[in-house]
Structure 1
C-alpha cells in the first residue's frame, strides 16, 4: 500500500472558504470558536463542562438511544458508549448525513471514520474523559430526490416513491425491486453476497428508512463503537422547546445570521440564507415551512394557522411537530448532545461558519469544526499507468485540458513557448501607451485594442500548435484522458460519485479497516491510497 498526502487546495475541488479555514486565515477567524487541534480540544472540554450539560439531559439522551437500539444487534463497545453518555465526563464527536439510499456517496464512510478516529485520538490524549462518535441521521430532511439513488460502476440505482414528508418516516416499500436490480449488477462472489445481505436485511426487514439506515450504519461501523441517533424524537424535541419558542416569538436566528453573512459575504460565498422563521411543521407525510403573516402563524401550502397563544400551546403539547431547518438544526444538535466537535464536508462547515454569533446569543458553546477526511483510492494498476504516463498524483487533479497541455508540451520534440514574445510585445505597447499620453490621449484606446489583438494572435498560434501536437501524440492523449476519467468520474472527486459497494465488492469489510488505519482526522490533508 502506498499513501500520499497533498494539500486540499492542490486538488482544485475545495472552496476558498475551506482553504482559508484550514490555514486559519485572519479573515475567517471571527466566524469560528476554536481551530481543530488537540490542544484546543482541552479548552472545548472545559467550556462544555462549564455550560452545565445536566445529568437529566444525559439520562434523557441515554433513554432515547436505548429505545432506538432496542431491536438492533449492538456491539459491546456501542452499548458501552451509549451507557457512558450518562456520565459527566463523556463527550461526543458528531457527524451528520442524509439518509441516502445504501449510504449514497463514498464520503459517508469518510465522515464516520473521521468521527471514530477523532474519538480514539482524544481518548489517548485525555484518558480521564470518554469520547463517543455520533452519526446524526438527517431523518427530518424532506429532499427525497437528493437521497433516492446511488451510483454503482457508472449506473444509477434508484428508488422511486410517491411518499412525502420527513424521509426518516418513509416506508421501505418498493425497495424489493431496487434490491433485485442491484443484485444483478453485483454477481455472486463472497463479498457480493455480503453486500446483498446488508442491503436486504437493511431495507427489506425494516419498515422505515430511518430504521433501515440505522441497521446498515451499525453493520458497517458498530464494531468501532459508533452511536447512531435519530433526533426526530418527542423527548429530545421537548428539551429544545425553549429555543423553538424564542424563535417563534423573536426570529433571533434570522437577525443574527443575517448580520453574520453580511460580513461573511465580503470575503466568501454565502452557503445558506436564513428565513424569518427557521422552522418547519412536521406531521405524517408533510414537512412545510412555518411563516408569520400579519400576526398569524401559518404552515405554507396548507390551511393550518394559529394565533401566538395557540402555536405556543401546541408547541408545548406536541414539540415533535416542530422541525428545525438547516439554520437551527446545528443548535438543536448542540443543545441535546454533550458535543465538542462537528465533522462535515466543506459545504456543511461553510454554513456552520455563519452561525457563531447566533450560538453566542443563546449561550450555547460553539463546537470545533473539523473538515472530514477526503481520499482518492487508486488500484496498483492505475498507479502503474500513471507512472508510465509520467503523471504525478498531484497532476492527476489538474483540469483535463491543462493536464493534457502540460503532458503534450513535456513530450514534444519542439518546445514552443511564446512567453518571451508576449513579454517583448507588452513592453513595446507600454512604450506606445506612454508616447500616446504625451501626444494625444485619444490614441490610448487604439493602442490598447491593438495590444489585445496582437496578444490574441499569439495565443491562437499557441492553441493551433497545441492541437497539432495533440493529434501527433494521439495515443498518449487518449490514454491520459481515459485514465483520468476512470479515476475522477465526471471530472469530480470519486468520493462524491461512487458508492462504497464498489470497493467492498473487491476488499470486503477490510476496506473499512484500511480506511480507518490510514485516514487521520487532524492531518488536514487530502489522502491518496494505492491499494
Structure 2
C-alpha cells in the first residue's frame, strides 16, 4: 500500500473558496479552518455546558450492542471527563453506503488525532449517524462493475412508507439474497468466503438499516476508537428534550435569520442549498417511525399529511412525554452543538453549503458554529488499474482529473480508418451528384417518381453509413484489449463521471485485499489535507 497526495482541481466553487479561505465564504462562519481557530474554539468550549455523564451513559447504552475496544473505552471515559470532539456523520447506507462514509470516518479520526497532539488535550472522534433520515431510496442500493457496465443493485422494501432508517426493519431473507447476489459480482478471492460469511452474520443480527450500518462501520474502525451516536435513538432524543424546547422557543427567529442568510449566500454566488422559508419550523414530528415536516401557521405547528396541529405549549409538553421530534438540516447542526462539545465538524461540499446558512441561527441560541473541516477525498487504485494506467500512459492524478477522455480520443484518432471514411464520403458525394442528374431528368420528362428517387437515395446513404459503422466495429474489435483498458480505468476511478467514493462501497476492496485493508490505511503517513489522497493497493 502506497500513498500519493496530489492537487486535483475542485469543481465546487463554494468548497474551493472555503479551502482557500476566501472572505466571500468565510464571513458565513464564526471560525476559519486554521490552527489558531482550533485553539480559540478550545477555550470557548470550556464555558460550554455539556451534561457529560448523562450523555456518555446514553452513548454507552447505544454502543453496548457493538464490539468494543480499548480505544473506544478510553474515548468514552475521556468524553465523560473533559474531552472535546471532532464530529462527522452520514446516512446509514447498506454495506456502509458509498466509500465517502468510510473516507469521512477516516477524516474524523485523523483530525481528532492531530488536534489531540496540537492542543495537548483529549479529542475524541464521533460519528453522528443520521438514522432519522427517511429517504430510503438514497441508501437502499449500491453499484458494481459488470464487464464494461456499471449496474445498480437495489434492495427493495415492502410497501413505500418512508419510515426512518432506524425504524425500517430489514427482511432477513431478502437482505441475505441481496448480499449473496452482490458478492457474486465481486468475484472469488482468497477472502471472499470468510468476508461473505461475516457480512451475512452481521445482517442476521441487524434489525434495521442503522443496525447493519453501524455494526459494519464499528468493526472497521473499533481499533481506532470511533464512537457512534444515532440521531434517531429514543434515548438520545429523550436526552435532547431540553434542547428541543430551546429550539421550539426560538423557532420563528431561527427561520427568519436562516432565510435571510441563505439569500445572502445566493447573492454571493453560492446558490440556495436549503430553500429556507420564514414559516418553517425546521423540525419533524415523528409517529410510528414516519417523519412529518412541521410548518408554522397562525400560531400553530402543523402538518396536513399527518393531520396534526399543535400549539407551542402542546409541542413543549409532547417533548417531555414522548421522543416525538426530529431535526432537519437546519436544526441538526444546532442540536449537535448543544449535545456535544464540538471542536470541529467534518463534512462534504453539500454539508458545507447548508452550514453556511446557519451562523445567525446559532447566534439566536447563544451558540457559535464550530470549525468546519472539509472531509478528505480518497481514490483507491487496484493493481489492475495501476497496470492499465501504465500501459495507457497516464498517471492516477491525470486520470481522476479527467485525462482518460482526452487520452481515449487521441487513441481513437490514431487507430481510426480515415482512408475508408474518406472513400465512403467520396462515394456518397458521387452518388448524390448522379441522383441530381436523375432528378433533373424526371422533372424534364414530367415523371412523377420524386418520392421513389428520394427514398432510393436515402436507402443507399444508409447502406454507406452501415458500411462505415461495420468498419469502425471491426477496428474496435481489432483494438479491443486497448479499449478495455480505458474502460476498466474509467470505470474504476471515475464511475458515472465522478469520484469512485460516491459510487462503490468498500467491500469490493475488502474482498480483494482482506480485512486489513482499513487497518493498513492507518499505517500510511496520512494527515488532514485538502490534497487528494491516492492510495495504491
State which drifts further: 194-203 or 69-78: 194-203
Give a deviation string over 1:423-454, Cα, whole Å, max 9, x none: xxxxxxxxxxxxxxxxxxxxxxxxxxxxxxxx
Cα deviation, residue 529, structure 1: 2.0
Give a deviation string over 1:163-210, Cα, whole Å, max 9, x none: 532111111224233234334445664522343234223221122333
Match of 2:208 in 1: 208
Give the distance between the partners of 1:405 and 1:316, measured in 2 at CA: 64
SS of residue in 1 equivalent to 2:37: helix
Cα deviation, residue 273, structure 1: 1.9
Match of 1:191 in 2: 191
Cα deviation, residue 234, structure 1: 3.3
Match of 1:432 in 2: none
Cα deviation, residue 274, structure 1: 2.0
Give the distance between the partners of 1:381 and 1:178, measured in 2 at CA: 27
Q: Is the 8 Å Cα contact of residues 165 and 282 (structure 1) preserved in structure 2? A: no
Cα deviation, residue 242, structure 1: 2.9
- Does 2:45 correspond to 1:48? yes
Give the distance between the partners of 2:338 and 2:52, measured in 1 at CA: 11
Match of 2:66 in 1: 72
- Does 2:102 correspond to 1:109? yes
SS of residue in 1 equivalent to 2:281: coil
Q: Which one of 114, 119, 140 corresponds to residue 148 of structure 1? A: 140
Give the distance between the partners of 2:116 and 2:300, measured in 1 at CA: 50
State which drifts further: 104-113 or 154-163: 154-163
Match of 1:346 in 2: 349
Give a deviation string over 1:269-313, Cα, whole Å, max 9, x none: 222222421111012231111122333322230222223332232
1:2–1:78 distance in 2 versus 1, CA, 3 Å: closer
Match of 1:229 in 2: 229
RMSD: 2.8
- Does 2:490 correspond to 1:484? yes
Give the distance between the partners of 2:179 and 2:483, measured in 1 at CA: 39
Give the distance between the partners of 1:137 and 1:378, measured in 2 at CA: 28
1:243–1:160 distance in 2 versus 1, CA, 3 Å: same
SS of residue in 2 equivalent to 1:527: strand
Give the distance between the partners of 2:392 and 2:179, measured in 1 at CA: 40
SS of residue in 1 equivalent to 2:181: helix
Any stretches of 5+ residues in structure 2 without a counterpart? 417-471
Matching of residues 49-448 of structure 1 within 5 Å: 49-50=46-47, 52-54=48-50, 57-88=51-82, 90-127=83-120, 129-153=121-145, 154-161=150-157, 162=159, 163-173=161-171, 174-186=174-186, 189-232=189-232, 233-247=236-250, 250-266=251-267, 267-275=269-277, 276-318=280-322, 320-396=323-399, 397-398=401-402, 401-405=405-409
Q: Is the 8 Å Cα contact of residues 327 and 355 (structure 1) preserved in structure 2? A: yes
Cα deviation, residue 339, structure 1: 1.0
Cα deviation, residue 389, structure 1: 2.6
Q: Is the 8 Å Cα contact of residues 385 and 492 (structure 2) preserved in structure 1? A: no
Q: Is the 8 Å Cα contact of residues 373 and 521 (structure 1) preserved in structure 2? A: no
Match of 1:449 in 2: none
State which drifts further: 172-181 or 362-371: 172-181
Give the distance between the partners of 1:378 and 1:510, measured in 2 at CA: 16
1:328–1:399 distance in 2 versus 1, CA, 3 Å: farther
Give a deviation string over 1:461-511, Cα, whole Å, max 9, x none: xxxxxxx9xx89x95677545532343112221111111001001111221
Q: Which one of 502, 507, 517 corresponds to residue 496 of structure 1? A: 502
Give a deviation string over 1:360-405, Cα, whole Å, max 9, x none: 2222131111111111112234233323333233431227554445
SS of residue in 1 equivalent to 2:27: helix
Q: Is the 8 Å Cα contact of residues 3 and 525 (structure 2) preserved in structure 1? A: no
Match of 1:35 in 2: 32
- Does 2:521 correspond to 1:529? no
Number of matched pairs: 464
Normalised by the length of structure 1, the TM-score is 0.81
Q: Is the 8 Å Cα contact of residues 62 and 82 (structure 1) preserved in structure 2? A: yes
SS of residue in 1 equivalent to 2:80: coil
Cα deviation, residue 257, structure 1: 1.3
1:235–1:131 distance in 2 versus 1, CA, 3 Å: same
1:383–1:185 distance in 2 versus 1, CA, 3 Å: closer
SS of residue in 2 equivalent to 1:523: coil
1:186–1:380 distance in 2 versus 1, CA, 3 Å: closer
Q: Is the 8 Å Cα contact of residues 2 and 524 (structure 2) preserved in structure 1? A: no
State which drifts further: 162-171 or 40-49: 162-171
Give the distance between the partners of 2:487 and 2:237, measured in 1 at CA: 53
Cα deviation, residue 94, structure 1: 0.7
